[in-house]
Structure 1
Amino acid sequence: MSTVHEILCKLSLEGDHSTPPSAYGSVKAYTNFDAERDALNIETPIKTKSVDEVTIINTLTNRSNEQRQNTAFAYQRRTKKELA
């Protein structure tokens, strides 16, 4: 019985190390990023009568933190309003 326990402990502790830890739990930078285009893509649905939340969510959730910050600055330059 202890042999099975030892094997299971080894399996759970060793795990699969083929993927680097940096590949988990983070949003990757969007390769075709353009802050001005993203700001426009956010501004347009906000200005419409019924806010298109899906477009806004898809734009912001597929960007890295740095890209979201750049988009927020571009939005503020365009509209003179903070993206909050």
Structure 2
Amino acid sequence: MLRWLIAILFLANLLAFVVVRGVFGPTPTASGREPNHMSRQVHPDWLKVRPVTATEAADQAVVGAAAPAAPIAASALPQ
């Protein structure tokens, strides 16, 4: 049984080596799959940088600060 396992692993490695060497053709990552990708890039002069307002900053998490208190009203449960 071990002989068959070794033979199968050897053949799988041989097949992987053949595929990597390009016997079945070039790999998909060998060349650009989207040649027009560079021509469709966003132009940097179109981008606008604006400061964050106070209302927008309220939604942002502050790294290293304590967790904000949840706006939940709690009451005692009736027994």
TM-score range normalised by the length of the shorter chain: 0.3 to 0.5
Name the structure, 1 or 2, with higher relative contact order (CA <8 Å, separation 6+): 1
Larger radius of gyration: 2
More helix by share: 1
TM-score (norm 2): 0.34
